[in-house]
Amino acid sequence: MNGKFVVCSADDIRSVQEYGVKRVIIPWAAASQGSGVFLPELEAMLTQAHDGGMQVDLAADILPDDSQLDALMDEFRRTDLLRPGRIQGVRLQNIGLARVIRQAYPHLKVIFDVRSGGNHPAYYTWLQRMGLDGAVLSRELSLESLPDFFRSAGAPFSFELRVFGAIAFFSSRRALLDMAVGQTCLLEEPSRPGQRFLLERGNDSVLHHSRYLDLRGHLGRLQSWPLTLVLDYRHVCTCREMLAYWFDGREFAALHGLAPMADPQLPREESRPPSDAQEPVARLLDVKRSRYLVAEVFAGLADGEELLCQSPEGKCFSLRWQPRKTWSGSPGSSLALLPWVKGATVGAVLMRKDVDG
């Protein structure tokens, strides 16, 4: 199977070795939103994995702000984790950190972990043009939509897909509850008995869905696509239980009474204006609050041109076209980096204003 497995201990590595696994992901506690492995154990695990002929990705999905970015890069340099021969790839969720690491460590494969958004193929074309080597596809995509995305970025850009694991859907730098780092607790609404959400305290406070992702029932179709499958047992079961289930079909009792989400079928967001409106001239692919917007552009636009921005929910407001940078995109379109505007959301379409209206 073409897969990568999250491991968090020496025992986990021994377990995956028994199943012939050759690629693992180790989350580094200092650079992870949630739980991870601290440096002394991480060093020992790297040696153990290399002795076993494994390739290792380092997961560093923290979302640093500008004041934390330099300190995090200093920590990478101090620990020497990213030098050649130690790890093969680094997995990030922050585009600024991804660009800095791409420039500082050109030998590394940089995989961008798309948690939400990324609902349009051009988003992945943009990631490739940014110099990244691959991406974990957004969990908001339906399985039926995936073949469209494989055609969006050319080789050697690689696609990965989460197929097993807890679903983190909210994070905050704040300590939402009085919890020590590494602790978890279960939250339950009185109106939803038995539906428990897990709150984890790491570098961030991370809230996980009351169900976990399990796409084993689609394994035949998934293996026919150019995908690397990603499996993460944390907060669902033990590593050994996950391996026995995935490879041998042995059932397990999930932690915290969680139930599987066997086919999320989350529809790909389609952003179309009403039938009586003008055709869109651009569509927003990515939004980073207070920082920037990324748009796929379908028509020629003049600097300073005033456009109508319509959200997927139908809300409209004016937006002035002032791109900071542009790239060529898929045939018939280009990509543009824009200043952030309050109210902009992923999937919103931009249209020329009706001068006669």
pLDDT, tens digit, for every residue of 316-333?
888 999 999 888 765 667
Residue 278 predicted with pLDDT over 70: no
pTM tops 0.85, yes or no: no
DSSP state of 302: -
The residue-averaged pLDDT of 14-18 equals 98
Q: What integer pLDDT is reported at residue 329 of this predicted model?
A: 62
Q: What integer pLDDT is reported at residue 261 of this predicted model?
A: 84
Closest by CA to 172, choosing from 199, 141, 212, 137, is 199
Q: What integer pLDDT is reported at residue 268 of this predicted model?
A: 34
* The residue type at 206: V
Residue 163 predicted with pLDDT over 70: yes
Q: What integer pLDDT is reported at residue 267 of this predicted model?
A: 33
Task: Tell me the per-residue pLDDT of 260-276, one tens digit each, with 9 for 90 and over.
Answer: 986 654 333 333 333 34
Of 246 and 126, more confident: 246
Q: What integer pLDDT is reported at residue 272 of this predicted model?
A: 35
Q: What integer pLDDT is reported at residue 289 of this predicted model?
A: 77
Most confident of 46-60, 206-220, 287-301: 46-60
Q: Average model confidence (pLDDT) for the chain?
A: 87
Task: Tell me the per-residue pLDDT of 58-104, one tens digit each, with 9 for 90 and over.
Answer: 999 998 887 889 999 999 999 999 999 999 999 999 988 999 999 99
Q: How far is CA 328 from the centre of its chain?
A: 24
Most confident of 18-27, 115-124, 199-208: 18-27
Residue 149 predicted with pLDDT over 80: yes
The domains of the chain are located at: 3-261, 282-352
Of 257 and 8, more confident: 8
In the structure, what pLDDT confidence band is assigned to residue 277 with cuts at 50, 70 and 90? Answer: very low
> Can you point out the beta strands (E) in the chain?
3-6, 23-27, 55-60, 89-92, 109-113, 134-136, 158-172, 184-188, 196-201, 205-214, 228-231, 259-261, 282-288, 292-297, 306-310, 316-320, 325-328, 334-339, 349-352
* % of the chain exceeding 70 in pLDDT: 93
Long-range Cβ contacts of 285-288 (<8 Å, 24+ apart): 285/117, 285/118, 285/120, 285/122, 285/123, 285/126, 285/335, 285/346, 286/117, 286/118, 286/123, 286/126, 286/346, 287/117, 287/340, 287/344, 287/345, 287/346, 288/95, 288/340
The residue-averaged pLDDT of 140-153 equals 86
36: CB partners within 8 A, 6+ apart: 8, 27, 28, 29, 30, 59, 202
Q: Which CATH architecture has domain 3-261?
A: Alpha-Beta Barrel (3.20)
Which of 47-51, 98-102, 166-170, 288-292 bottoms out in mean pLDDT, i.e. has the lowest?
288-292
Q: What integer pLDDT is reported at residue 111 of this predicted model?
A: 98
Residue 203 predicted with pLDDT over 90: no
In the structure, what pLDDT confidence band is assigned to residue 348 with cuts at 50, 70 and 90? Answer: confident
Q: What integer pLDDT is reported at residue 318 of this predicted model?
A: 87
Q: What integer pLDDT is reported at residue 332 of this predicted model?
A: 65
